[in-house]
Amino acid sequence: MYEPLNFKKEEKTRESTLNHKNSPLFIAVEGPIGVGKTTLTKLLTKELQASCLKEIIEENPYLKKFYENIEEYAFQTEMFFLCNRIKQLEDAKEQKLDQGVSVVADYSIIKNLIFAELTLKPDHFQKYEKVFEILTKDLPQPDIIIYLYGDLDLLMKRIALRDRSFERNMSRDYMEKLSEAYHRYFYPNTVKTSSHDFHTSEEVFQTSPNHDPFNKPSPVIIPINIRDRDFVNQPEDVDYLVKKIVEISRQRRK
């Protein structure tokens, strides 16, 4: 029988485990557009009593034009996002993580590489990679990445329902390529380390040394098919994920 986690004793234990002065936890929720990153980030922030870090999207002045003409506006769009996210992560480190407060973000800086590789011309991407490496080497790296993914029809439906003006010209072909790119970074080139906590399609991974864009130690990756989980309407799904996060956090400090 399902037992909710919202008991005062367990909440105190969880808060003590995550918001540890010498070792706060940095969690990133990742996945393609429309997969539910921000929704899950808000839920986890509340459950874990952590600080919420949401990426700034609408302020990018090139975004609407980007979806109308990707080739023309890709470089400007990606550079704006890179600089903006670097500033956010620097602030999160100084104001939260360094003060012992755990952070849950609805992105990781690696998404910049994913989008840039997909949209930039090869010569531009090579230059971008060099800039990326220099500017991000001292940024905080997630301890855990929750990678959400789903089938293309579901993602396109969600994007249509939320009806953001700058997403209305987004093509199905672009979304298909984006989903494939996310999978290349976060799922297929990984090494299984545990499988007993989720459904058979939801296992815990460390990134493979053959495809590892992260600094060492690499983050733990939890891939979740959104078809199998309903974090909004099924609180046990959130509690299940919270238990896994707390377990990983405790193991990390041993």
Quick one: pLDDT at residue 133? 93
Question: Pick the catalytic residue: 91, 98, 106, 123?
Answer: 106
Could you tell me if residue 214 is inside a domain? yes
Q: How many CA atoms lie within 13 A of 58 on its CB side?
A: 3
Could you tell me if residue 60 is inside a domain? yes
Quick one: pLDDT at residue 5? 41
**How many other C-beta atoms can be found within 10 angstroms of the C-beta atom of residue 229?**
21
Quick one: pLDDT at residue 170? 85
Q: What's the number of domains the chain is made of? A: 1
Quick one: pLDDT at residue 44? 96
Could you tell me if residue 15 is inside a domain? yes
Could you tell me if residue 2 is inside a domain? no
Could you tell me if residue 3 is inside a domain? no
User: Residues 6 or more apart from 122 whose CB is under 8 A from it?
Assistant: none
pLDDT tens, residue order, the chain (254 aa)? 333 444 344 455 455 556 555 689 999 999 999 999 999 999 999 999 999 999 988 888 898 888 888 889 999 999 999 999 999 999 999 999 999 999 999 999 999 999 999 999 999 999 999 999 999 999 999 999 999 999 999 999 999 998 888 888 888 999 999 999 998 888 755 433 333 333 334 555 544 434 556 666 788 999 999 999 999 999 999 999 999 999 888 877 66
Quick one: pLDDT at residue 154? 93
What is the spatial distance between Cα 175 and Cα 150, in angstroms, rounded to a whole number? 11
Write out the residue range of the structural domain in which residue 97 sits. Answer: 8-252
Quick one: pLDDT at residue 89? 97
Could you tell me if residue 130 is inside a domain? yes
User: Residues 6 or more apart from 56 whose CB is under 8 A from it?
Assistant: 84, 88
Could you tell me if residue 1 is inside a domain? no
Q: Give 21: exposed, middle or buried? Use CB within 10 Å, 0-12, 13-18, 19+.
A: exposed
Q: What CA–CA distances, in Å, run from 33 to 104, 161, 175?
A: 18, 13, 8
Sheet (strand 26-30) strand order: 51-53, 103-105, 26-30, 144-149, 220-225, 204-207, 190-194
Could you tell me if residue 177 is inside a domain? yes
Quick one: pLDDT at residue 193? 37
Quick one: pLDDT at residue 252? 72
Residue 228 appears among annotated catalytic residues: no
Quick one: pLDDT at residue 7? 36
What is the spatial distance between Cα 163 and Cα 186, in angstroms, rounded to a whole number? 27
Q: Which CATH number fits the domain that encloses residue 78?
A: 3.40.50.300
